[in-house]
A = this chain, B = another copy of it.
């Protein structure tokens, strides 16, 4: 999904370019200085005037939400790409890693998202409705090809990874979970310890 200004109708090319540049810049600045970074800094990073920021994102929360949506979109879009470039299980693994990285980056936004600002109300639902199906396709493909166990609920996976602690410890746990996915797969059944 391409992020557009509210009135997508008759959007001029330069305006769309401004929005794209702005979102990219905001992402960078948010990562560097937090979501409370001065608007001027974001404008400067984007190479536009502050007025342009305010034109497209009258409130700071509008900008934050747009950045967040954009990254959700990017993450979901990555699923399709990975699906055609890798084996099903490898694609799933790559995507989960990417998703975890996305979550890690966004941890700073969590506070903003829970600020009660109504601008953020729709974000959790958007998160699930966008990333859920993306993951579902990857999981289904890997299951069908017998590369991972079939008793996995994509939503659970999404949620569990989201709750992983940040840093290396989280990465190790993600690796564990991915191994766990493969563990019960039909193709690996022979390797399972026998029950007595």
Contacts and interface: CB of A to CB of B under 8 A. Distances in A.
How many copies of this chain sit in the oligomeric assembly?
4
Interface string A63-87: 0000000000000000000000000
Nearest to A115: B34
B163 A165 contact: yes
Query: Which of A34, A108, A111, A163 gathers most chain B CB within 10 Å?
Result: A111
Interface string A162-182: 010100000000000000000
- 4 closest A-B pairs by CB: A163-B165, A111-B111, A108-B111, A34-B111
Interface size class of A (residues with CB under 8 A): under 10
A71 B88 CA distance: 51
Interface in A88-127: 108, 111
Contacts of A34: 111
Contacts of A163: 165
Contacts of A111: 34, 108, 111
